[in-house]
Structure 1
Amino acid sequence: MKRLAYVDNLRVVLTVLVVLHHVAVTYGNIPVWYYVEPAQDPSGQLLDLLVMVDQAFFMGFFFLISGFFTPGSHDRKGGAAFLKDRLVRLGIPLLVFVVLLRPLVTFGIYREMDLPYWQFYLASWDPGPMWFVEVLLVFAAIYALVRRHGRTPRPVPQGAPGFTAIAGYTLALALVTFLWRLVVPTGLYVPVLGLPTPSHLPQYVSMFVLGVLAFRHGWFDALSKRAGRLGFAAMGAATLVLLPVQFATRGAVSGLAQAAWEAVFAVGMIIGLLVTFRERFDRQGPRGRFLSGQAYTVYIIHPLVLVGLAYAFSGLQAAAIVKFAVVAVLALPLCWGLAALVRALPGAKRIL
């Protein structure tokens, strides 16, 4: 399979969003990070808005892309080699993060605890941002199991799904998400597994499956420019119509509006970005190849950089948005620079 420069470029942008997302959590009003400074001014609400917008689509987009590259990898390597490769590429970084990096980023939290470190380590066990890799391992195993008991499918190029199919999926996603959240509400955290957003699992699972289908049927290439424009338009319209309903109501109405907004926003944004990057950013020079080459490693090591910078600037007295900007501007080049150093270690590129 040829290298798709526009997909690589999308992964870079999504990885940047992950870094910015966690900087925003650091200085906003959503205290779910290794180091937080809750906002003391209204600018923190802007950071919360960024977190909400990111969460609506960016991890689903990651799962879509991961699903897209899964069938080709399995076809080339076969079931056993595919699973071995996933264990190396996903399992080893997960283990390294939990054993080596997590103690470093949680040290500040432990200093406030009056108990032995081993008790703190076990009691607070979770994979942090590597929950994504953890879930991908499960998806890869399920995919390999399905392929083992079925015939090897052949690529069947066909036109991209039409408006009716896309609208139907979006409506189904909104409804399933709403019903799912009656059991798994927004904000629920799953300890040990470390899933921070299990309320979004319908999106994650369906996007991964759609990625697999997109590979088999050539949907990424078949999406029209008009589909991209309509995607952005739908995303904007849903935000104008559904977000006010979500915030102005309570109970089931608010929950349904939230699920509908997230579904339309995610589908519209993903289609719009896919088409835009395919048409305008389907090329890479040396700089682009460098950025995409380090993106996975940046995802793994960025908590170390962000927590270190946050402690370094803990004495800075400034508005939340200002501290966000300062740390973000420094974090992005530091993350990519550190990632390049890590990948320069002997054998690292075999994994990363």
Structure 2
Amino acid sequence: MEQRLIYLDRLKILLTVLVVLHHTSIVYGGAGSWYYYENQDDTAATALLSTFTAVNQTFFMGLFFFISGFVTPASYDRNTAGGFLRARLLRFGIPLLIYMLVLEPILRYVSTGYTGSFGNYLKEEVLPHPIRSVSDFATGPLWYLVALLLFYAAYIGFRKLTGRLDGSKHPLALTPRLMISYLATVMVANFVVRLAYPVGTDFLNLQLGYFPAYIGLFMAGIAAYRGHWMQQLSERTARKWKWANIGLILLLPAGMMAGGALEGDISTFMGGSSWQAIFYAIIDPLLGLGITYALLVWFRNRWNGAATKTTRWLSSNAFVVYIIHAPIVTYTAYALRNLAWHPLLKFGLTGCASVILCFTIASLIRRIPGIFGLARKSGRAEVSG
């Protein structure tokens, strides 16, 4: 059993900050979908921010799923199957309902371009349709919680079918052959899935075009826990991945530009039978695995000391930050809409302000009676099990 998880706490903090900055970058020209946009006509800003979002997309949510998978077996072993699932339905179901009933309607005020006052918007558009977001299954960034609930249900079924030991007597070894098999499987699955569900399209707010890697990394997290992979991750291999990552990060925008991205249309990369779709289906998991491996080794070796007060505070609030960041990012950008700055400067200002506001407001929310316990458990659940 892995005993020292301080570095995973710190890695989770980094990933949470990246989520906030990722969505902020979309506001100012980065590739992706969000509630509010500005300065979409600045070519340099769009290129730089789109590279930032494209690189993030290869690894940050997949690494969240890996960490979630890593802590799942120990959490399951401490509970019955019913208790394990009930706890997660409570921890994830309540935030999902809050998001759909409260946060999503607030975000629609900006995203729909409503011209009246916010009070009139609530009176005319929200109150007459109290469960619109629920019926639309408008989960926004909280699609991640929906996916985790599905993965947990599948894990429970797997444990029921295979027995309680979950392969712990014969753990899967981490070998180069296994990593190559993972990459080959995800690359092929990416291409096939994106024929039907190109990146940018969704089913129940889930972008299935990215799910081959998400499923694979969640399973890898489970195998890593059982097989003690964290100790086996090699610093030498991480250095090789570091240099490979640099090359791949340069190759990604070069390939996008060669495929016509500068003309403003990247749809051929998102799915289909073109060389652009094949290129993205290959480079996406390759760069994702490389960055994931390098980050895990770096945090294990450099950031695994005793938890400081700041680390504990940031880690405890990270889950709530993920839940509430969408309206904070959106309305911070909206409040600064008349600031005549270059979009990259506005990205820096809005991103930093949003991160500070998110963690501050999250800490205040966790003090509310009745929410404190839920938020605190949820905040630790994905790292400590």
TM-score with structure 1 setting the length: 0.92
Q: Residues of 1 paired with 2:301 and 2:170: CA distance?
A: 19
Q: Cα distance 1:147–1:349, how it changes in 2: closer, same or farther (>3 A)?
A: farther
Q: 1:159 to 1:74 in 2, by over 3 A?
A: closer
Which of 142, 160, 164 aligns to 2:154? It is: 142
1:34/1:109 contact within 8 Å kept: yes
Cα 1:84–1:12 shift into 2, 3 Å: same
Residue pair 2:199, 2:209 contacting (<8 A) in 1 also: yes
Q: Is the 8 A contact 1:243 1:258 kept in 2?
A: no
The match for 1:293 is 316
* Gap regions ≥5 residues in structure 2: 116-120, 260-267, 376-385
1:189 positional shift: 3.1
Relative to 1, partners in 2 of residues 1:156 and 1:240: Cα closer, same or farther, differing over 3 Å?
A: farther
Structure 1 unpaired stretches of 5+:
none
One-letter code aligned to 1:28: G
- Larger mean CA deviation between 100-109 and 57-66 belongs to 100-109
Q: TM-score, normalised by structure 2?
A: 0.84
Identity, in percent, stands at: 33
Is the 2:31–2:54 contact (alpha carbons within 8 Å) kept by the matching residues of 1? no
Mapped contact 1:231–1:268 kept (Cα < 8 A)? yes
**Offset at residue 38 of structure 1 (A):** 3.7
Task: Answer whether contact 1:29 1:38 (CA < 8 A) is retained.
Answer: no
The structural deviation recorded for 1:351 is 1.7
Decide which of 294, 317, 322 is 1:272's aligned counterpart. 294
Match of 2:198 in 1: 185
Question: Structure 2: how far apart are the matches of 1:238 and 1:318?
Answer: 32
How far the C-alpha of 1:231 sits from its partner, in A, is 2.2
* Equivalent residue, structure 2, for 1:222: 232
- Please give the alpha-carbon distance, in whole angstroms, between the structure 2 residues aligned to 1:124 and 1:35: 19
Which position in structure 2 is the counterpart of 1:318? 341
Deviates more, 1:338-347 or 1:36-45: 36-45
How far apart, in 2, do the equivalents of 1:48 and 1:128 lie? 20
Q: In the TM superposition, what is the alpha-carbon distance from 1:318 to its structure 2 partner? A: 1.5
CA distance in 2, matches of 1:206, 1:309: 36
On the 8 A contact 1:91/1:137 being kept in 2, the answer is no
Change beyond 3 A, Cα 1:74–1:53: same
Matches within 5 A, 1:150-299: 150-153=162-165, 155-156=168-169, 161-190=174-203, 193-195=204-206, 197-241=207-251, 244-249=254-259, 252-283=274-305, 284-299=307-322
Deviation of 1:158 (Å):
6.5
Matched, 1:9 2:10: yes
For 2:80 and 2:174, locate their aligned partners in 1 and report how far apart those are by CA, in whole Å: 29
Q: Which residue of 1 aligns with 2:325?
A: 302
Once structures 1 and 2 are overlaid, which stretch shifts more, 2-11 or 150-159? 150-159
The alignment of Structure 1 onto Structure 2 pairs a total of residues equal to: 349
Quick one: distance in 1 between partners of 2:300 and 2:370?
A: 33
Please provide the CA RMSD for this pair. Answer: 2.3
Displacement of 1:62: 0.7
1:231 is aligned with what amino acid?
Answer: W
Higher mean C-alpha deviation, range 147-156 or range 323-332: 147-156
